[in-house]
Amino acid sequence: MSTIDDAEIHLIVQRVLKQVLGQSQPVAAPVTPAPPAETVPAQGAPAQAKKVVAIGSDHGGYELKEILKTTLNELGFDVRDVGAYNKGAVDYPDFAHEVARLVSVGKAWRGIMIDGAGISSCIVANKVPGVRAGMAYDYSSAVNSREHNDTNVLTLGAGLIGVNLAKQIVKVWLTTEFGGGRHAGRVEKITAVEKQYLK
């Protein structure tokens, strides 16, 4: 099991404090996502399509999902809602699987799934090849999951966090870049483990 040394913890804390206090350039990229350089249209060409974020929830996460859909639209993303569509009791694996599937097959750039605690949906999403789901419960865990693990699905526990914190987590998760470097080799090892069990 790898550990984070004191110098790395210090750097992470400094970056988070600088962004929160507005003392320096933020760690995250600008809030409005820009298309990759190779997809920027030539002058006179049609505008690039918005990045798609798939979002889903069970009944426990329905209300937060509806709020976060508005936040995603405000940030300039195209939202693909896979349900649930009301607060009637449903099974979280159905929706977590669909969010993860859309990311896995490339129909969504990233995915967000919300249930009561966020843990169950994270387990389901991580069963889908090509998905690296992470549950975030605060600003730092959202940043860490992107910088260190290159997560492409975020799971949230509606019963554990409030609306304002959920919005902050989503914003920083969507705008934090993967750190690469030594983390890239570790993510490659995650993929290698996954491939051992694919049939």
Nearest to 109 by CA among 173, 61, 163, 157: 173
Q: Are 101 and 69 in contact (CB under 8 A)?
A: no
Which pair of tokens denotes residue 4?
């984070």
Residue 182's CB is within 10 A of a number of other CB atoms, namely 10
Say how many residues make up the chain.
Answer: 199
The one-letter code for the residue type at 131 is: V
Q: Are 33 and 75 in contact (CB under 8 A)?
A: yes
Of the residues 10, 59, 97, 148, only one is catalytic, namely 148
Look up 148 and say whether it is catalytic: yes
The one-letter code for the residue type at 1 is: M
Which pair of tokens denotes residue 107?
């129909």
CA distance 124 to 92: 9
CA distance 101 to 75: 23
- CA 160 vs. chain centroid, Å, equals 17
Which pair of tokens denotes residue 104?
């896995």
Residues with a known catalytic role: 148
